[in-house]
């Protein structure tokens, strides 16, 4: 193969890889099963220098959203970086305000569902590992948010 043909092949491969990377961002499903609105914010504490942060998301009672991590440097076709996540979960009801910190771990590009709920008047967070975002519960609408 000529030198020019080799360069063209490498450029074509690189362009194809970049195009494919932009369609492979990690997505998380966030679902509020509580009877009140809740907020959630998470930070990857294993890679603090990279500032991998799920910005505060507010979900109405029964709402589900899909958060798309986009094509940032920490999610560039290799999927979202793995790590330990620390999340702050807040719940406000007519009677009380409660806040709780939860932690969980993820693997490279792991698509998960984070279920928000209340138990004993305290906000709770449960991680459900999965390969693709799950269908909405009871046919309710989902919305997609992201960092794109």
User: Closest Cα partner for 34 from 65, 67, 64?
Assistant: 64
Q: Could you tell me which residue, 120 or 2, shows the higher pLDDT?
A: 120
Q: Could you tell me which residue, 145 or 64, shows the higher pLDDT?
A: 64
pTM for this model (two decimals): 0.72
Q: What are phi and psi of 82, to 5 degrees?
A: -75, 170
pLDDT single digits (tens) 7-30: 554 444 444 444 444 467 889 999
Per DSSP, helices labelled H in the chain are 3-21
> Which residue segments constitute the domains of the chain, with CATH numbers given?
3-146 (2.60.40)
Q: Are 65 and 142 in contact (CB under 8 A)?
A: yes
Average pLDDT of the chain, as a whole number: 79
Task: Assign 80 a pLDDT band (cuts: 50, 70, 90).
Answer: confident
Any idea which residue has 């492979």 for tokens? 24
pLDDT single digits (tens) 102-116: 999 998 888 899 999
CA-CA distance, 44 to 66, in Å (whole number)?
18
Any idea which residue has 């449960």 for tokens? 126
Q: Are 58 and 95 in contact (CB under 8 A)?
A: no
3-state secondary structure of 127: strand
Q: At 143, list the tokens.
A: 């919305």
């Amino acid at each position: 193969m000529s030198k020019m043909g080799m360069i063209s092949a490498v450029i074509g491969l690189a362009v194809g890889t970049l195009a494919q990377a932009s369609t492979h961002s990690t997505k998380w499903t966030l679902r509020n099963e509580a009877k009140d609105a809740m907020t959630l914010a998470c930070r990857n504490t294993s890679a603090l220098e990279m500032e991998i942060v799920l910005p505060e998301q507010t979900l109405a009672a029964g709402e589900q959203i899909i958060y798309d991590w986009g094509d940032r440097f920490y999610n560039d076709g290799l999927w979202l970086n793995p790590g330990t996540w620390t999340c702050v979960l807040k719940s406000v009801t007519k009677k009380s305000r409660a806040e709780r910190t939860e932690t969980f771990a993820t693997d490279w590009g792991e698509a998960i569902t984070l279920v928000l709920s209340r138990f004993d008047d305290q906000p709770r967070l449960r991680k459900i590992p999965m390969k693709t975002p799950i269908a909405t519960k009871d046919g309710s609408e989902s919305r997609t948010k992201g960092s794109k």
